[in-house]
Amino acid sequence: MAISYWCVLVAALMPYLFTGIAKFGGRRYNNHVPREFLEGQQGFRKRAHWAQLNSFEAFPAFAAGVIIAHQLGVAAETINLLAVSFILLRLVYGICYLTDQASLRSLVWMAALGCTIALYVQAGLVI
Tens-digit pLDDT profile for residues 47-86: 999 999 999 999 999 999 999 999 999 999 999 999 999 9
Q: Are 5 and 68 in contact (CB under 8 A)?
A: no
pLDDT tens profile 82-106 = 999 999 999 999 999 999 999 999 9
**Amino acid code (one letter) for 80:** N
Closest alpha carbon to 42 in 25, 62, 65: 25
Q: What is the model's pTM?
A: 0.92
DSSP state of 74: -
Classify residue 24 by its DSSP letter: S
Q: Which domains does the chain have, with CATH numbers?
A: 3-126 (1.20.120.550)
CB 58 within 8 A of CB 90: yes
